[in-house]
């Protein structure tokens, strides 16, 4: 059960950070780079909870 809660919290944090990045007044190219970085870090943390790494 705690694994499911951890996965859900991590997913919600990723969505929140992506939303906040979208609200930043920066260039479109910089937003795209930041989104990619956030997604990669999020996927790696989700894989860590699933015990792939």
Question: What does the pLDDT profile of the chain (53 residues) look like in tens digits?
Answer: 778 888 899 899 999 999 999 998 988 899 999 999 999 999 998 888 887 66
> How distant, in Å, are the alpha carbons of 11, 43, 45 from that of 39?
10, 6, 10
- What are the residue ranges spanned by the domains of the chain? 2-50
Residue whose entry in the numeric block shows the structure tokens 């906040």: 20
C-alpha angle 46/52/11, rounded to 5°? 10
Alpha carbon distance 11, 15 (integer Å)? 6
Structure pTM?
Answer: 0.78
């Amino acid at each position: 059960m705690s694994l499911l809660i951890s996965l859900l919290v991590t997913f919600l944090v990723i969505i929140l950070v992506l939303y906040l990045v979208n609200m930043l007044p920066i260039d479109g190219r910089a937003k795209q780079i930041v989104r990619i970085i956030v997604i990669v870090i999020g996927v790696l943390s989700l894989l860590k909870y699933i015990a792939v790494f």
